[in-house]
Homo-oligomer: A and B are copies of this chain.
Amino acid sequence: MTTTTGQLEEAGAILAEESARFAGFGWMRGTSGNLSAVLSRDPLRLAVTASGHDKGELTSSDVVLVDGDGAAVDGGKPSAEAELHARVAALTGANAVVHVHTVASVAMGRREPGGIVFKDLEMLKGVGQPAHDTEVTLPVIANSQDMKVLGDRLEAARDERMPAVVVAGHGLYVWGDSPRQARHHTEVVEWLLELALTER
């Protein structure tokens, strides 16, 4: 199945809008972070936001089509992190991946390098977890510039019940069935981290 230019542009428009939202929250300072959406599964194709742009100023064209290794299919310069987006999509079945640099995720990753434990919070339902009596861990993995290494760590550490991982000294990876669900998961995880940050 071939991805058409129209499909890519459509995904680009959605990702641009989602990026602007996250940039407005201060979660994509500088040119940090990137978002992706799955366009096909066989072969795996994703639209990933282009590298080096201000994430509050993307247009529907600022998007690159990549394959399951995160390599550009039709030209353009994807972020090096496109490889990790593709791997998360393959591993989890998610159709959308959000990567943002939030202060709370990096601060909490430093305080709790072994994973951040949440319990008895209604907000956990927003990531499909029980609100009562159950410890839920948001995994924290060590950072790397090697996306293969980072992907292995993510695969080893992830908790299937939790659609997110903190990369220490780096930021958040969050995923969902759609860009909107990935947005909601991101907001919920960041809320949990901001709460945890008040508790010291």
Please list the residues of chain A having a beta carbon within 8 angstroms of any beta carbon in chain B. 25-26, 29-32, 54, 101, 103, 106-107, 110, 120-123, 126, 131-132, 143, 145, 167-171, 180, 183-185, 187-188, 190-191, 194-195, 197-199
Contacts and interface: CB of A to CB of B under 8 A. Distances in A.
Given A101-B123, A106-B195, A145 B132 contact: yes
A191 B143 contact: no
Contact of A30 (B107, B185, B199): B185
B197 A29 contact: no
A177 to B, nearest CB: 13
A122 B101 contact: yes
Given A122-B101, A197-B198, A184 B106 contact: no
Contacts of A121: 106, 169-170
A96 to B, nearest CB: 14
Nearest to A193: B103
A29 B190 contact: yes
Contacts of A103: 191, 194-195, 198
Contact of A191 (B30, B120, B145): B30
A143 B130 CA distance: 12
A143 B171 contact: no
24 contacts: A29-B126, A29-B184, A29-B190, A30-B123, A30-B126, A30-B184, A30-B187, A30-B188, A30-B191, A31-B126, A31-B184, A32-B122, A101-B123, A101-B191, A103-B194, A106-B195, A107-B195, A120-B143, A120-B168, A120-B169, A122-B143, A122-B169, A131-B143, A131-B170
